[in-house]
Amino acid sequence: DIVKTNYTGDPDTFKEVTQGCPVPVVIAGGPKMSTPEEVLQMVHDAIQAGAAGTSIGRNVFQHENPVAMTRAIAEIVHKNATVEDGIKILKS
């Protein structure tokens, strides 16, 4: 089992969600964001608050380089990378 939900926008309130849920929580990608940095910040904050992963669509598929965006997100989720690390991946 898994729960997919929207990120609350705040690590403290999202931590309440992840701690109160008996199964892993993944965040939905939500509406198209203005910048890739916003996406990476959301992912980073959610992971730091206890999310198990992501389920992001348009913010990956509509990025100019979806492969790099996927790699950047994966580094944050699986290797505890920073937003800055993710941005470097997008620029490489």
Domain ranges, ordered by start, for the chain: 3-91
Q: How high is the pLDDT of residue 81?
A: 98
- Judge if pTM exceeds 0.75: yes
What is the pLDDT averaged over residues 16-39?
A: 97
Counting residues of the chain whose pLDDT is more than 70, the rounded percentage is 100
What is the pLDDT averaged over residues 66-92?
A: 98
Q: How high is the pLDDT of residue 24?
A: 99
Q: How high is the pLDDT of residue 12?
A: 98
Q: How high is the pLDDT of residue 58?
A: 97
DSSP class of residue 32 equals P
